[in-house]
């Protein structure tokens, strides 16, 4: 199995451990990842200018197409962005023509041949749960985990095709495989607040804190994410605004690839466990 | 040597003046690194502290056990220029040729008295391998310069701009190398030079010896004797060869190993007499040497300054963690980096948001341009609000993906430059759109839109859009105002200060659209505080694309609002 | 491209049944199908469930012209039958209706949303406008309200600043004569001070945190005084209402209950949430937000349904179809200049002769309008029939409000009709089609 690995803009500087842990985990399943000359997925700019968002996304998909590869991304915002652009290019012929004219200047063309997949889908469907179960050497029994789904992979379902948008189960299925126990929590499908970070921090934090309080009250030991932005929100940002307020407890957040990697017995260094700002050591799984 | 005979005081004066200018220039520029303010005000520290922090940092680095790191930087990044190789082979060939050729010429040739002679006691510039190597290094520089010129012509555009500094640098290099070659060639064919050498180092035993030597040199080494006529016989040549071996060979290798100058001399032969008469070789020598001196004096003020800044930058950033910036040394480091940029364009070539630039055509999106702007900001240039607005657009479109930092051949910590300049822009009233948009509320924006209609209407007219959700009643007409969108909206639900609360909830936005009042929605908090979580769209019982509509409203608002003067007072017509 | 998740969905699979529509009727039909181990697929957007008050009406008013309210719903249904009405209830036995309700209620209760009903009695429920609505089956969270009303016990209604859809004062003033012990108080919901508007779902979500409940209870505590019950707008949580009610009762020391509200109503969200999250694990393939665009029938009688999506169409094959697409709001029925039509199967409809006779002259005519009884006519197996009473397809069953000869809104039989007809349709599919058809075994 081989994919074009679309890391997105934030991993190299802000979340290296997501890149390294994804590589480490996928490598053990024989998945090969190729990094192309990708640019931004377009998501951050969709707020301001539709066409430049589509061009950015189309360029990435065209690069993968040229290499005959499907795209794998660990980031849900990148995933959503690429899927949306796919949809717009697919349904709007004039847009497709104009974007392709622009891409042609670089010798690229978007035909819609490459599929965009999120890491979790590849793990669950392409690699398959049985293989994942078989790879576990250190089951994380006793750990209660709140699966945070992430909006942009889940909705709008008719465009992103990720899982049932109202009752998804893919993340819990994958967490169960590690031996940890996924907890039910009312806010599991809600936004982490990161899209508003830097734009309206008060709302961004309010959304984050509501989720954390809910996960905490539902008995979770930690939150588990599979998205660059969500993890940044629950780790770096949560820790940067730490208060001593007992009403807003601190909950560590772990990347799914770290959780899986630990249960597979992969070395901590590859998983970048120490790079998490809110230490996950106290979960006693390390 | 005959050269020093010719106005040696003049040359020495020139050299020392040049050296003086060069040193003063370097000191001046380095001093400025400590004086200019870069980045946000919050990070400002007094100049004295900057100096002491840098000194301490340097000492710490030197005494730490970072030798391996330092060696790595010196060997790979500096000597082999691996950072350039990583991004482009052709650029590496270009740069490495110039760098290596020039450095070797400098060390082996220009500083021969100081270096080469000491290393190789038998050194003579006209001996091999020095003669050959000089030509080789000269060719390397010429080839590199040629590639550079070709690249600049071929890839002209916002990704690679050519400024005067680039032209001067290239021209100066070309003058130095070409004049060097020509001087060498002209000397080969110069009769007067030959005669002078002969009178100095040759004494004839037999009457025909002079002729024999000249015959041999003119046949084998390209010398030209326009005033002399002789018949060349094998005996004469054999004698000349013997004489040459006795008297000349200890200092003169076969001129043909000067594989550029020798053929060049061939071309010059027809003009040998006049060249020799006008003492061209001396003038060319002057041109060559003076060009070098001028280059020396110009160095701190030219692109060549990167010979100093780039190694320093590579070293400093090579041994420190780019992700953990030391706030005490940040300002001088940034200032140094601003001098280290040669505008090679690698950053822009790898920029993650280059496609956005292609659509918006705002060069301030591209890192190379941005860094120049940062430099202008640091130098305290006054910029008007419109210009800052454009700069801010570019600064915030950047996704801080770290790519430019990773590829910068000079090792500049661009990431830190961007983060710092963004903070500075926010401080000076030019934050990211989501923030400056909140300067007015929805109805104030709508007033402003009406007031400044001329600024955006024209550009708007006749624009063919790919989607037009906000104007297409089929899209939002099915809304039954059931409020599901509002009820599932996490932003409306978020408990924050009531004065920041969402003004127009999603279902009301749908209603405004139905009433044809979407101008009133453009500047609303709901639109700009939308997290794009798609709950509304997913849950709408009528299948209305609520989030996509909000996205489109943001696009429209941004497009219009950025053309509207945010600073002007408006006096609404009371009627 | 794959269908929206289904780790193991095989596009070549032939489903036993496809349910078209995801209103109450569609959801009930899907539940009954998966409970009977039929392989089931369902399409349709959110539908009217979101707007449901959470109350399940069986039958309260008949005849509509007289607005006669029945204390015993079964008597009302018996009266229908006696008069030879063509109302769908006339084709189902009381036992079947009862079993349908029990099956739904037990499902909802196991999913955390318990219901209460009394065998032969409609229950009086206070509405957010202060009127009394008679309904058959109420969520547990509303039950104490029925008790309080019956006892006319001293009761405090809590109203929240900014909650537009609910007015405690209106409730108490409307019911003052009948129920003098009713008192309303308006407070600010925790952390909403200063907001002009608050929305029911957001309050419900907030109450899922115990800290919020504690701070709310602290605000209510001083107002309780003589009250023996506390009535809230129906915002007591979405996913753990029972626990929230219990916690509030502990904090306040008196029983609490919810008062149903106008849409968008939280109990509607609860129902939707349960249907959405509990049915798929039971084996239902939900095609969320997909519409059936067109239908074709194979030679073997199986239906091929074209499922529309923005990027790609998909096809589903099913042995039988339950059509529960509702009336006009759900777009099960459409109208043009010539009249009403059913867009998927183009079924013949019972409808007024011409557009002019759709409505009576007075808009608020108590007897309703003929258009409100339009719809698909069926046989006793709930299969669509044509004008002559002939069954159109032996494997097409109809359920819910798309059925003719009922005016659920006025008769107060909406959910009951949806549930009972879905039950009848699924059972008919099994008994009258699947068990008989040799196509299945072939
Ligand atoms: C305002 C309001 C108040 C209510 N209050 C009460 C109450 O107090 N008590 C009570 O018992 N009930 C109440 N109800 C609920 C009511 O009983 C039910 O909504 C009604 O019975 C209709 O149910 P239904 O499932 O037949 O149709 P609908 O709820 O209309 O559902 C139709 C479904 O079919 C889908 N559909 C249509 N065409 C297609 C297609 N081509 N492909 C796929 N899917 C399609 C639609 O998307 C929708 O999901 C209320 C409903 C509303 C709207």
Provide the shortest C-alpha distance from residue C273 to chain A (in Å). Answer: 8
Indicate whether C2 pLDDT > 50.
Answer: no
Provide the shortest C-alpha distance from residue A71 to chain B (in Å). Answer: 17
What residues does ligand 1 touch, defined as CB less than 6 Å away?
Answer: C 20-26, 43-45, 47-48, 51-53, 55-57, 263, 291-292, 324-326, 329-332, 344, 400-401, 408, 414-415, 417-418
The average confidence (pLDDT) of chain C is: 90
Q: Find the closest chain A residue to C273 by CA distance.
A: A166
Q: Which residue has the tokens 């029945």?
A: C70
pLDDT at B214: 84
Q: Band of the pLDDT at C65, cuts 50, 70, 90?
A: confident
State the pTM of this model. Answer: 0.92
Option in C193, C196, C264 nearest B487 (CB): C264
pLDDT at A246: 62
Indicate whether A247 pLDDT > 90.
Answer: no
How many C-beta neighbours within 10 Å does residue C200 have? 26
B537 found inside a domain: yes
Site from A59, A200, A229 to mutate, B interface, most B CB atoms within 10 angstroms: A200
DSSP label at C118?
Answer: B
pLDDT at C47: 66
Based on the domain organization, do B463 and B538 belong to the same domain?
yes
How many C-beta neighbours within 10 Å does residue B110 have? 18
Domain A2-117 identical in fold to domain A128-283: no
What CATH class does A128-283 carry? alpha beta
Find the mean pLDDT for residues C422-428.
Answer: 97
Q: Name every chain B residue with its beta carbon within 8 A of the beta carbon of A274.
A: none
Q: Name every chain A residue with its beta carbon within 8 A of the beta carbon of B490.
A: 190-191, 207
Q: For B74-104, b where at least 16 C-beta lie within 10 A, e where not — what string? A: eeebbeebebbbebbeebbbbbbbbbbbbeb
Option in C7, C239, C310 nearest A124 (CB): C7
SS3 A123: helix
Based on the domain organization, do B363 and B390 belong to the same domain?
yes
- Neighbour subunits, B (≥3 Cβ pairs < 8 A): A, C
Among candidate residues B436, B469, B504, the one where a domain is terminated: B436
Q: Name every chain A residue with its beta carbon within 8 A of the beta carbon of C276.
A: 164, 166-167
pLDDT at C310: 55
Retrieve residue C432's tokens: 């009258």
- Put simply, the answer to whether C199 touches B493 (Cβ < 8 Å) is yes
Q: Find the closest chain A residue to C46 by CA distance.
A: A166
Q: Find the closest chain B residue to A149 by CA distance.
A: B533
Ligand 1 centroid to residue C115 C-alpha, Å: 20
Q: Find the closest chain B residue to C291 by CA distance.
A: B543
pLDDT in tens, B179-222: 999 999 988 888 888 888 888 888 777 778 888 888 888 888 88
- Put simply, the answer to whether A195 touches B533 (Cβ < 8 Å) is yes
Based on the domain organization, do B422 and B498 belong to the same domain?
no
Q: Name every chain A residue with its beta carbon within 8 A of the beta carbon of B157.
A: none
Based on the domain organization, do B319 and B424 belong to the same domain?
yes
Interface of A with B in 262-281 (CB under 8 A): none
Ligand 1 centroid to residue C402 C-alpha, Å: 9
- Put simply, the answer to whether A156 touches B358 (Cβ < 8 Å) is no
Option in B351, B415, B538 nearest A155 (CB): B538
Indicate whether C24 pLDDT > 50.
Answer: yes
How many C-beta neighbours within 10 Å does residue A239 have? 15
A-to-C residue pairs, Cβ atoms closer than 8 angstroms: 76
DSSP label at B465?
Answer: P
Among candidate residues B436, B471, B496, the one where a domain is terminated: B436
pLDDT in tens, C383-409: 999 989 999 999 999 999 999 999 998
Bridge-based pairing state of the strands A181-182 and A222-225: unpaired
pLDDT at C355: 75
- Put simply, the answer to whether C200 touches B482 (Cβ < 8 Å) is no
Which among C393, C349, C348 is positioned nearest to C370, based on CA atoms?
Answer: C349
- Put simply, the answer to whether C309 touches A163 (Cβ < 8 Å) is no
Would an 8 Å CB–CB cutoff place B500 in contact with chain C? no
Which among B341, B333, B355, B511 is positioned nearest to B410, based on CA atoms?
Answer: B341
Cα A59 to Cα A99: distance, rounded to the nearest angstrom: 9
Domains of chain C: 14-51+269-438 (3.50.50.60), 128-259 (3.40.50.1860)
Greater pLDDT, A231 or C7: A231
Find the mean pLDDT for residues C193-199.
Answer: 89
B400 Ramachandran zone, left/alpha/beta (phi>0; psi -120 to 50): left
Q: Find the closest chain B residue to A49 by CA distance.
A: B555
Cα B12 to Cα B7: distance, rounded to the nearest angstrom: 9
DSSP states of C397-428 as a string?
A: EE-GGGBSS--HHHHT-HHHHHHHHHHHHHHH
B506 found inside a domain: yes
Retrieve residue B156's tokens: 């002209």
Beta bridge partners of C187: C160
pLDDT in tens, B504-559: 999 999 999 999 998 999 999 999 999 999 999 999 988 899 999 999 999 999 99
- Neighbour subunits, C (≥3 Cβ pairs < 8 A): A, B
SS3 A118: strand
B82 found inside a domain: no
The dihedrals phi and psi of C135, each to the nearest 5 degrees, come to -140, 170
Ligand 1 centroid to residue A187 C-alpha, Å: 27
Ligand 1 centroid to residue C261 C-alpha, Å: 17
Total tally of structural domains belonging to chain B:
2
Pocket-testing residue among C22, C51, C52, C334, ligand 1, by greatest number of atoms within 8 A of Cβ: C52
Cα B509 to Cα B405: distance, rounded to the nearest angstrom: 42
DSSP H helices in C85-238: 94-110, 140-151, 168-175, 200-206, 210-224
B3 found inside a domain: no
Based on the domain organization, do B311 and B428 belong to the same domain?
yes
Which residues 6+ apart lie within 8 Å of B499 measured at CB? C194
B476 found inside a domain: yes
Retrieve residue B346's tokens: 């690698």
Which structural domain, as residue segments, surrounds residue B539?
Answer: 455-561
Find the mean pLDDT for residues C361-373.
Answer: 72
Ligand 1 centroid to residue B139 C-alpha, Å: 84
Would an 8 Å CB–CB cutoff place A198 in contact with chain B? yes
Would an 8 Å CB–CB cutoff place C10 in contact with chain A? no
Rg (CA), chain C: 23
pLDDT at B11: 87
B208 found inside a domain: no
How many C-beta neighbours within 10 Å does residue B451 have? 16
Would an 8 Å CB–CB cutoff place A206 in contact with chain B? yes
Q: Which atom of ligand 1 is nearest to the CA of C263?
A: 1
pLDDT at B288: 94
SS3 C56: strand
pLDDT above 70 covers what percent of chain B? 98
Q: Find the closest chain C residue to A164 by CA distance.
A: C5
Cα C138 to Cα A258: distance, rounded to the nearest angstrom: 47
Domain extent listing, chain A: 2-117, 128-283
Beta bridge partners of B309: none
Among candidate residues B436, B466, B483, the one where a domain is terminated: B436
SS3 B58: helix
pLDDT above 70 covers what percent of chain C? 93
Greater pLDDT, A70 or C372: A70
Retrieve residue C210's tokens: 């115990």
pLDDT in tens, A16-47: 999 999 999 999 999 999 999 999 999 999 99
The structural architecture, per CATH, of the domain A2-117 is: Up-down Bundle (1.20)
Would an 8 Å CB–CB cutoff place B494 in contact with chain A? yes
Indicate whether C3 pLDDT > 60.
Answer: no
The average confidence (pLDDT) of chain A is: 95
Q: Name every chain A residue with its beta carbon within 8 A of the beta carbon of C268.
A: none
* CATH code of the domain covering residue B505: 1.10.1060
Option in C47, C193, C199 nearest B483 (CB): C199
- Put simply, the answer to whether B493 touches C201 (Cβ < 8 Å) is yes
ω into B5 cis (within 30 of 0): no
pLDDT at A64: 98
pLDDT at B373: 95
Based on the domain organization, do B424 and B499 belong to the same domain?
no
pLDDT in tens, A42-100: 999 999 999 999 999 999 999 999 999 999 999 999 999 999 999 999 999 999 999 99
Ligand 1 centroid to residue C48 C-alpha, Å: 4
pLDDT at B458: 76
Q: Find the closest chain A residue to C277 by CA distance.
A: A167
Q: Name every chain C residue with its beta carbon within 8 A of the beta carbon of A115.
A: 1
Cα C263 to Cα B538: distance, rounded to the nearest angstrom: 18
B533 found inside a domain: yes
Ranges under pLDDT 70 in chain B? 1-7, 572-575
Q: Name every chain A residue with its beta carbon within 8 A of the beta carbon of B422.
A: none
Retrieve residue B115's tokens: 């270096």
- Put simply, the answer to whether C202 touches B492 (Cβ < 8 Å) is yes
Based on the domain organization, do B416 and B459 belong to the same domain?
no
pLDDT in tens, C284-329: 988 877 789 999 999 999 999 998 765 567 889 999 999 999 998 8
Which among C211, C188, C203 is positioned nearest to C241, based on CA atoms?
Answer: C203
Which among C400, A200, C18 is positioned nearest to B438, based on CA atoms?
Answer: A200
pLDDT at C8: 44
The average confidence (pLDDT) of chain B is: 90
pLDDT at C367: 66
A-to-B residue pairs, Cβ atoms closer than 8 angstroms: 151
Ligand 1 centroid to residue C330 C-alpha, Å: 6
pLDDT in tens, C110-164: 999 999 999 899 999 999 999 999 999 999 999 999 999 999 999 999 999 999 8
Based on the domain organization, do B426 and B459 belong to the same domain?
no
pLDDT at B541: 86
pLDDT at B364: 97
Cβ C325 vs Cβ C402: under 8 Å:
yes
Greater pLDDT, A249 or A252: A252
Tell me how far the alpha carbon of residue C40 is from its chain's centroid.
20
- Put simply, the answer to whether B541 touches C47 (Cβ < 8 Å) is yes
ω into B129 cis (within 30 of 0): yes
């Amino acid at each position: 199995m081989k994919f074009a690995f679309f890391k997105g803009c934030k991993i190299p500087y802000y979340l290296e451990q997501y890149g390294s842990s994804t590589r480490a985990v996928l490598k053990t399943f024989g998945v090969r990842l190729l990094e192309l000359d990708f640019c931004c997925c377009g998501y951050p700019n969709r707020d301001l200018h539709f066409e430049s968002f589509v061009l950015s996304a189309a360029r990435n998909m065209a690069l993968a197409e040229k290499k005959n590869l499907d795209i794998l991304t660990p980031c849900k915002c990148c995933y959503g962005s690429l899927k949306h652009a796919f949809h717009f290019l697919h349904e709007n012929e004039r847009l497709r023509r104009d974007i392709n004219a622009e891409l042609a200047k670089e010798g690229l063309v978007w035909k819609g041949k490459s599929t965009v997949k999120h890491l979790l889908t590849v793990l669950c469907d392409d690699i398959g749960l049985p293989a994942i179960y078989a790879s576990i050497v250190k089951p994380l029994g006793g750990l209660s985990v709140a699966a945070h789904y992430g909006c942009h992979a889940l909705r709008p379902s008719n465009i992103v095709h990720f899982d049932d948008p109202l009752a998804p189960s893919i993340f819990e299925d994958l967490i169960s495989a590690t031996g940890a126990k996924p907890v039910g929590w009312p806010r599991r499908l809600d936004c982490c607040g990161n899209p508003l970070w830097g734009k309206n921090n008060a709302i961004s934090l309010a959304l984050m804190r509501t989720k954390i309080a809910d996960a905490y009250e539902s008995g979770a030991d930690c939150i588990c994410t599979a998205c660059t932005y969500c993890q940044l929100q629950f780790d770096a940002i949560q820790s940067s605004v730490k208060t001593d307020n007992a009403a807003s407890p601190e909950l560590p957040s772990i990347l799914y690839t770290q959780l899986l990697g630990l249960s597979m017995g992969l070395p901590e260094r590859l998983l970048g466990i120490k790079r998490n700002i809110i230490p996950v050591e106290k979960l006693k799984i390390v | 040597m005959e050269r020093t005979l010719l106005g040696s005081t003049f040359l020495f004066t020139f050299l020392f003046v040049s050296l003086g200018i060069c040193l003063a220039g370097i000191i001046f520029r380095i001093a400025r690194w400590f004086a200019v303010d870069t980045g946000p005000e919050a990070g400002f520290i007094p100049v004295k502290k900057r100096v002491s922090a840098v000194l301490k940092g340097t000492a710490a680095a030197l005494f730490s056990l970072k030798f391996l790191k330092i060696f790595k930087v010196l060997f790979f990044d500096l000597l082999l220029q691996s950072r350039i190789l990583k991004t482009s082979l052709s650029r590496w060939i270009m740069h490495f040729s110039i760098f290596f050729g020039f450095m070797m010429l400098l060390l082996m040739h220009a500083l021969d008295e100081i270096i080469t002679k000491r290393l190789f006691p038998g050194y003579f510039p006209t001996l091999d391998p020095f003669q050959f190597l000089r030509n080789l290094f000269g060719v390397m520089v010429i080839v590199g310069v040629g590639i550079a010129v070709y690249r600049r012509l071929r890839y002209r555009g916002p990704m690679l701009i050519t400024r005067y500094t680039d032209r001067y640098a290239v021209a100066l290099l070309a003058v130095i190398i070409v004049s060097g070659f020509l001087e060498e060639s002209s000397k080969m064919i110069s009769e007067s030079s030959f005669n002078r050498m002969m009178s100095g180092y040759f004494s004839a035993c037999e009457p025909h010896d002079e002729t024999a030597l000249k015959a041999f040199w003119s046949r084998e080494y390209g010398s030209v004797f326009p005033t002399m006529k002789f018949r060349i016989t094998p005996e004469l040549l054999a004698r000349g060869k013997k004489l040459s071996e006795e008297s000349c060979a200890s200092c003169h290798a076969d001129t043909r190993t000067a594989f550029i100058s020798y053929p060049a001399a061939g071309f010059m032969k027809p003009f040998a007499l006049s060249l020799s008469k006008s003492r061209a070789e001396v003038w060319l020598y002057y041109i060559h040497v003076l060009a070098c001196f001028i280059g020396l004096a110009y160095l701190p003020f030219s692109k060549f300054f990167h010979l100093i800044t780039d190694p320093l930058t590579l070293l400093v950033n090579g041994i420190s963690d780019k992700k953990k910036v030391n706030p005490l040394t940040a300002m001088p480091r940034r200032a140094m980096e601003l001098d280290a940029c040669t505008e090679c364009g690698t950053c822009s070539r790898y920029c993650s948001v280059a496609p956005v630039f292609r659509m918006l055509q705002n060069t301030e999106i591209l890192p190379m341009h941005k860094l120049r702007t940062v430099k202008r900001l640091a130098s305290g240039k006054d910029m008007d609000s419109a210009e800052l607005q454009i700069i801010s657009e570019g600064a915030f479109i950047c996704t801080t993906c770290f790519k430019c930092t990773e590829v910068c051949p000079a090792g500049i910590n661009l990431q830190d430059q961007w983060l710092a300049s963004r903070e500075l822009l926010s401080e000076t009233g030019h934050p990211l759109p989501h923030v400056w948009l909140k300067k007015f509320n929805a109805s104030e924006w709508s007033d402003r839109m009406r007031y400044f209609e001329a600024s955006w209407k024209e550009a708007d007219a006749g624009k063919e859009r790919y989607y037009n959700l906000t104007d297409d009643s089929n899209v939002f007409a099915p809304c039954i105002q059931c409020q599901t969108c509002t009820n599932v909206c996490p932003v409306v639900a978020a408990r924050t200060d009531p004065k920041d609360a969402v003004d127009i909830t999603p279902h009301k936005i749908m209603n405004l659209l139905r009433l044809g009042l979407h101008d009133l929605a453009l500047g609303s908090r709901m639109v700009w505080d939308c997290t794009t979580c798609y709950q509304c769209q997913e849950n709408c019982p009528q299948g209305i694309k609520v989030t996509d509509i909000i996205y489109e409203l943001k696009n429209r608002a941004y497009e219009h609002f950025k053309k509207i003067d945010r600073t002007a007072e408006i006096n609404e017509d009371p009627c | 491209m794959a269908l929206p998740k289904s780790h193991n969905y095989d596009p070549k699979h032939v489903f036993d049944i496809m349910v078209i529509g995801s209103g109450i009727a569609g959801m009930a039909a899907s539940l009954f199908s998966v409970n009977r181990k039929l392989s089931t697929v369902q399409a349709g957007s959110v539908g009217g469930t979101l707007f449901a008050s959470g109350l399940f009406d069986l039958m309260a008013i008949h005849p509509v012209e007289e607005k006669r309210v029945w204390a015993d719903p079964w008597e009302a249904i018996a009266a229908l039958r006696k008069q030879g009405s063509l109302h769908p209830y006339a084709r189902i036995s009381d036992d079947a209706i009862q079993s349908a309700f029990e099956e739904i209620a037990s499902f909802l209760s196991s999913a955390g949303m318990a219901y209460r009903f009394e065998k032969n009695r409609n229950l009086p429920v206070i509405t957010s406008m202060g009127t009394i609505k008679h309904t058959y089956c109420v969520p547990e969270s509303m039950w104490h309200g029925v008790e309080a009303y019956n006892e006319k016990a001293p009761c405090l209604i809590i109203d929240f600043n900014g909650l537009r859809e609910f007015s405690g004062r209106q409730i108490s003033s409307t019911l003052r004569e009948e129920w003098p012990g009713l008192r309303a108080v308006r407070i600010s919901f925790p952390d909403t001070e200063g907001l002009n508007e608050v929305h029911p779902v957001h309050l419900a979500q907030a109450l899922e945190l115990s800290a919020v409940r504690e701070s709310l209870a602290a605000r209510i505590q001083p107002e309780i005084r003589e009250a023996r019950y506390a009535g809230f707008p129906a915002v007591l949580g979405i996913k753990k209402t029972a626990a929230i009610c219990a916690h509030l009762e502990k904090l306040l020391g008196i029983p609490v209950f919810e008062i149903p509200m106008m849409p968008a109503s939280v109990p509607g969200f609860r129902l939707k949430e349960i249907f959405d999250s509990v049915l798929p694990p039971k084996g239902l393939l939900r095609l969320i937000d997909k519409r059936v665009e067109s239908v074709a029938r194979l030679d073997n009688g199986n239906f091929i349904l074209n499922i529309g999506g923005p990027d790609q169409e998909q096809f589903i094959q099913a042995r039988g179809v339950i059509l529960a697409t509702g009336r006009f709001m759900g777009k099960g029925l459409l109208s043009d200049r010539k009249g009403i039509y059913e867009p998927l199967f183009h079924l013949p409809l019972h409808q007024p002769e011409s557009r002019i006779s759709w409505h009576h002259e007075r808009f608020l005519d108590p007897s309703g309008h003929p258009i409100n009884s339009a719809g698909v006519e069926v046989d006793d197996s709930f299969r669509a029939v044509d004008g002559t009473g002939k069954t159109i397809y032996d494997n097409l069953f109809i359920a819910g409000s798309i059925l003719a000869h009922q005016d659920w809104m006025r008769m107060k039989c909406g959910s009951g009709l949806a549930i009972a007809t879905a039950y009848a349709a699924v059972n008919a599919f099994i008994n009258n089609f699947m068990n008989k058809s040799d196509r299945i075994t072939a």
